[in-house]
Chain A
Amino acid sequence: MIEIKGITKTFGDNDVLRGISAKFKPGKNNLIIGGSGSGKTTLLKCIVGLHEPTKGDVIFDGENFTQMNFEQRVPIRTHIGMLFQNSALFDSMTVEENIMFPLNLFTDRTHAEKLDRANFCLERVNLKGKNKLYPSELSGGMKKRVGIARAISMQPKYLFVDEPNSGLDPKTSILIDELINELTEEYQITTVIVTHDMNSVMGIGDHIIFLHQGKKWWEGTKDEIAHTDNKELNDFVFASKFMRAAKARL
């Protein structure tokens, strides 16, 4: 289980995160939502260790990740998969090489075994046969799927996803959400997703944390979100006429 305790992050005079504590549900989709500049991505980066929190702790299965040095973090990191907003595929490598990269570095498998695993991951994200393409030859949705394939190649216990739907059309967004949801359920991964896409929130939000002004403002499920009287959350979730109409029909 992942737990964060009193995470505070300050950049100069700017307090981006102000003492956020939460427990992420194991084997579920945990969504961090909030408006632009609310600190969602900063919180995600603090959890995975890309930013060091100014104060507070991140605990992975009882181990304090924040207090660890680089070497101590490596065993935990091998259980982490991450999908970045822009996929962050290595430009100089083919799809297959991207997926095999962590396997090359952290496993002693033979080339054939690694290739099998890469093919399995590609098949799992419906990209069978795209092994030899370079990232520049892929569409945005395909890049996201390759990113997911790379993230699951090491069979992670934790999957972190930063804005999975950014830059994608609605149909592809739903496909990506469904894929993340299937993987979470199938492999019992603890998935943490940063998003402001309401389709994702209402579709796969098992556990939702709403950030506002750098604080945890609300926490609940997708069913609870429709009935909350939290003004800031309502302003955020039901900002569009369409969503307000949908709420009225509930």
Chain B
Amino acid sequence: MFHSLGKYILLLRLSFRKPEKFSVYWAEVMREMVSVGVGSLGIISIISVFIGAATTIQVAFQLSSPLVPRSIAGSIARDSTILEFSPTISSLVLAGRVGSSMASQIGTMRVTEQIDALEIMGVNAPGYLISPKIIAGVTMFPILVIASIALGIFGGWLACVVSGDVSPADYLSGVHEGFEGLTIRVAIVKAIVFGFIITSICAYQGFYTSGGALEVGQSATRGVVYSCVMVLFADLVITRLML
């Protein structure tokens, strides 16, 4: 375990060495940002709307007492979405979508000697392959999480309109009531950390793949599993530290 941790840290250090040519790396960062950000927007939108809707209906069901104002459903759905569902569930989904793709892409490059070809040319392969992915992860995850929060809250409103469990006006009033900026800060910090964890762990797994197609698949699976576990651990730590 310590051996792997050491290799991971050394790989990260190599990844952030001075680039051979900034313009080439910049183009690669942009390409990765489009892939991670735009490429994930569809799945994030779908899960966010549904999670927001389901959360609102469940909260409305649990708080059916006449003593509790109906607007509380909006407040609880909002805080749950901002603090937990959007950053954590989105990141777990992104680990599957983005992380596995990164691990298998780099792993395939390893087993087909494309990484060797980079090294022969004098290119810092970890820097060229991994740093753009990490930069894309830590910049695009927060944007995706903010979009996810907005869509989650919209999903809750939609559930109110369709189901009528809570009136849309009560829901929106609850969403506005007692809003604290800290929750958004926590969500953004989580998104940045999760983005780093997922991209770096999956890239590490891909980079040290050896063998063939079977091992590439195993690396992708390991990358997703390890990054999901680390995301949940980091979620707990950040929540404990910031709230």
Residues of A within 8 A of B (CB): 45, 48-50, 70, 73-75, 77-78, 80, 82, 84-86, 88-91, 101-102, 104-106, 154, 160
Interface membership of chain B positions 114-133, coded 1 if the CB is closer than 8 angstroms to chain A and 0 otherwise = 10110111111000000000
Q: Does B21 contact A (CB under 8 A)?
A: yes
A86:B121 contact, CB within 8 angstroms? no
A84:B122 contact, CB within 8 angstroms? no
Which of B24, B120, B124 makes the CB contact (< 8 A) with A82? B120
A77:B20 contact, CB within 8 angstroms? no
B112:A106 contact, CB within 8 angstroms? no
Instruction: Tell me how many residues of B have a C-beta within 8 Å of chain A.
Output: 16
Q: What are 15 A-B interface contacts by the 8 Å CB criterion? A: A49-B120, A70-B124, A75-B122, A88-B116, A88-B117, A90-B114, A90-B117, A91-B108, A91-B109, A91-B112, A101-B121, A104-B24, A105-B21, A106-B122, A160-B120
Closest to B19 in A: A105
- Taking A88-B112, A88-B114 as contacts, is the C-beta distance between A50 and B119 under 8 angstroms? yes
Distance in angstroms between the alpha carbons of A104 and B21 in the assembled complex: 8
Distance in angstroms between the alpha carbons of A187 and B116 in the assembled complex: 24
Distance in angstroms between the alpha carbons of A82 and B120 in the assembled complex: 7
Closest to B25 in A: A105
- Taking A73-B122, A78-B122, A105-B121 as contacts, is the C-beta distance between A84 and B116 under 8 angstroms? yes
Contact partners of B123 in chain A: CB under 8 A: 105
B122:A86 contact, CB within 8 angstroms? no
For chain B, residues 3 to 57, give those with C-beta under 8 angstroms from any C-beta of chain A: 20-21, 24
- The total of Cβ contacts below 8 Å across the A-B interface reads 56
Q: Does B113 contact A (CB under 8 A)?
A: yes
Contact partners of B117 in chain A: CB under 8 A: 82, 84, 88, 90
Task: Please provide the 6 A-B residue pairs with the shortest distance between their CB atoms, ordered closest to farther.
Answer: A77-B122, A88-B113, A88-B117, A74-B122, A82-B120, A84-B113
Specify the main secondary structure of chain B where it touches its partner.
helix
A105:B24 contact, CB within 8 angstroms? yes
Distance in angstroms between the alpha carbons of A50 and B124 in the assembled complex: 13
Contact partners of A75 in chain B: CB under 8 A: 122
Distance in angstroms between the alpha carbons of A49 and B125 in the assembled complex: 14
For chain B, residues 92 to 146, give those with C-beta under 8 angstroms from any C-beta of chain A: 108-109, 112-114, 116-117, 119-124
Closest to B121 in A: A102
Contact partners of B109 in chain A: CB under 8 A: 90-91
Which of A70, A85, A91, A160 makes the CB contact (< 8 A) with B114? A91
A106:B20 contact, CB within 8 angstroms? yes
19 further A-B contacts with Cβ under 8 Å, apart from A86-B113, A91-B112, are A49-B120, A70-B124, A73-B122, A74-B20, A78-B122, A80-B120, A80-B121, A84-B113, A88-B117, A89-B114, A101-B121, A104-B24, A105-B21, A105-B24, A105-B123, A106-B20, A106-B21, A106-B122, A154-B121
Closest to A160 in B: B120
Contact partners of A49 in chain B: CB under 8 A: 119-120
Closest to B123 in A: A105
Q: How far is the CB of B20 from chain A (nearest CB, A)?
A: 5
Distance in angstroms between the alpha carbons of A85 and B114 in the assembled complex: 11
Contact partners of B113 in chain A: CB under 8 A: 84-86, 88
B112:A50 contact, CB within 8 angstroms? no
Q: How far is the CB of B192 from chain A (nearest CB, A)?
A: 27
A105:B120 contact, CB within 8 angstroms? no
Contact partners of A80 in chain B: CB under 8 A: 120-121
Closest to B115 in A: A88
Contact partners of B24 in chain A: CB under 8 A: 104-105
Contact partners of A91 in chain B: CB under 8 A: 108-109, 112, 114
Most buried by A among B109, B113, B120: B120
Distance in angstroms between the alpha carbons of A198 and B238 in the assembled complex: 64
Interface membership of chain B positions 189-204, coded 1 if the CB is closer than 8 angstroms to chain A and 0 otherwise = 0000000000000000
Contact partners of A160 in chain B: CB under 8 A: 120
Distance in angstroms between the alpha carbons of A160 and B123 in the assembled complex: 17
Distance in angstroms between the alpha carbons of A105 and B108 in the assembled complex: 22
